[in-house]
Amino acid sequence: MKKRVPTYIITGFLGSGKTTVLQHLLNYCRENKLKPAIVINEIGETNVEEHLFKDDHVLEMLNGCICCSIQSDFTKELHTFITSLSDNAVPDIILIEGTGIANPIEIVDALTDPLLIDKIDLFSVINVIDGSKYLEYQSIFSSTREVRSILKSQISISSFIILNKMDLINHKYTDKTRRKVEELKKGNTPVIETSYGEVNIQEMLEKRVQIHRSHDKMNLLSSRKCGCNHNHTCDQHAKVHHNHSFQAIKIDINRPIDRIDFEKWLKKLPKTMVRGKGIVNLTETAGLFQFQYSSNQLNMMRVKEDLNTEPCLILIGVDLDSKAIEKSFYEKFIKKERLT
């Protein structure tokens, strides 16, 4: 592969709408006959959204965050991935969706590795913000230092900001959220307010990140602020891979569940559980459903039966007592079923 491929990082906290924006980007690529290559990173061991990308070239990196625990693997795997593509599959654009807890500066760092620098033309870091949760996540009363730090690192490096989920908030909240985002972002970074990631894709793709190539690494490292709370400088951080305190719990579900009970159960989980997703069978109707739980909302979408993924539930958060959550799920949906 001779040309440097324009590459975009899509960053943003858990459930903010990154995959939704990625879907719009892929539609744009289809309409404009562009060949995309996609890198998907998940904290958990399973990608329950695999079916969304079945016609595309996808590099899946599961069970860790490319910004930290699997950063060196990422550089090598991405290199292998793009160099192994046949000539007619060489991508016109690479789209990288980080995990919701990724510090994008670490991904930028991996992309500017000598192994990739001649292959990748890092164009932009797009940050999707959940407008309905932003103030809560930034509040010292309802959030943690780690979450605030992740949000800050994601906003401060971005070259294009999508303030999403505006349908869920009122004007007063919108004004306050807008002001807070303005405080953290780099000077002239555009902030587009929207719902369901509906942005002008062309405008978004044209906005180039402000990085001078010959100093890529130096400039980025000098401005790096990591998302973790560890007691080290960020230069040390380049050498010491950290782990987030976020965890993903996976529960296999081998029987249909009641949608309303499921929603009630999710809403009663500790507030530190910020994101849920998975594949389920429902009692009320036949077929498989993909569910998404974010911003306190549960969405279900019917999916085809020929999925590779078995029904399962993935919960992401901090300080989750996995045993207690599994027990509670079992008692609510499995044991109860057996008794009836």
Ligand X SMILES: Nc1nc2c(ncn2[C@@H]2O[C@H](COP(=O)(O)OP(=O)(O)OP(=O)(O)O)[C@@H](O)[C@H]2O)c(=O)[nH]1
**Footprint of ligand X on this chain (CB under 6 A)?**
12, 14-20, 100, 164-165, 167-168, 195-197, 275, 292, 294, 299
- Output 174 or 195, the one with its CB closest to ligand X: 195
Nearer to ligand X, 165 or 185 (CB): 165
Nearer residue to ligand X within complex by CB, 112 or 194:
194
**In terms of CB distance, is 104 or 197 closer to ligand X?**
197
Nearer to ligand X, 193 or 216 (CB): 193
Cα(246)–Cα(44) distance, rounded to whole angstroms? 10
Residue 98: CB minimum distance to ligand X, A: 8
**DSSP class of residue 334?**
I
Residues 182 and 205: their CA atoms lie apart, in Å, by: 21
Dist CA 327 CA 190 (whole Å):
46
CB of 106 to ligand X, least distance (A): 16
Answer yes or no: are the C-beta atoms of 135 and 77 closer than 8 Å.
Answer: no
Strands 288-294 vs 297-303: parallel, antiparallel or unpaired: antiparallel
Q: What is the distance of C-alpha 168 from the center of its chain?
A: 20
φ, ψ of residue 180 to 5 degrees: the values are -65, -40
Cα 216 to Cα 7, 86, 114, 157, distances in angstroms: 15, 29, 11, 13
Smallest gap from residue 90 Cβ to ligand X (A): 27
Nearest to 277, CA basis, from 14, 39, 34: 14
Residue 74, SS3? Answer: helix
- Smallest distance from the beta carbon of 142 to ligand X, in angstroms? 19
Q: Which is nearer to ligand X, 115 or 168 (CB)?
A: 168
Shortest distance in whole angstroms from residue 317 CB to ligand X? 11
How many angstroms separate the CA atoms of 173 and 176, rounded? 5
Q: Which is nearer to ligand X, 18 or 242 (CB)?
A: 18
Closest CB to ligand X among residues 93, 128: 128
* Local structure of residue 53 (DSSP, 8 states): G
Matching residue, tokens 């958060």: 317
For the bound state, the minimum distance from the C-beta of residue 53 to ligand X, rounded and expressed in Å, comes to: 12
Minimum gap (Å) between residue 227 Cβ and ligand X: 14
Q: By the 8 A CB rule, do 152 and 117 touch?
A: no
Q: Is the Cβ of residue 5 or residue 102 nearer to ligand X in the bound state?
A: 102
Please state the closest distance from residue 126 (CB atom) to ligand X, in A.
Answer: 11
From residue 101, alpha-carbon distances to 114, 261, 270 in Å are 25, 29, 19
Collapsing DSSP to helix, strand or coil, 127 comes out as strand
For ligand X, the nearest residue by Cβ is 292
Distance CA 281, CA 291 (A): 10
Shortest Å distance, C-beta 99 to ligand X: 6
Closest by CA position to 250, among listed 312, 292, 311? 312
Residue whose entry in the numeric block shows the structure tokens 């562009």: 34
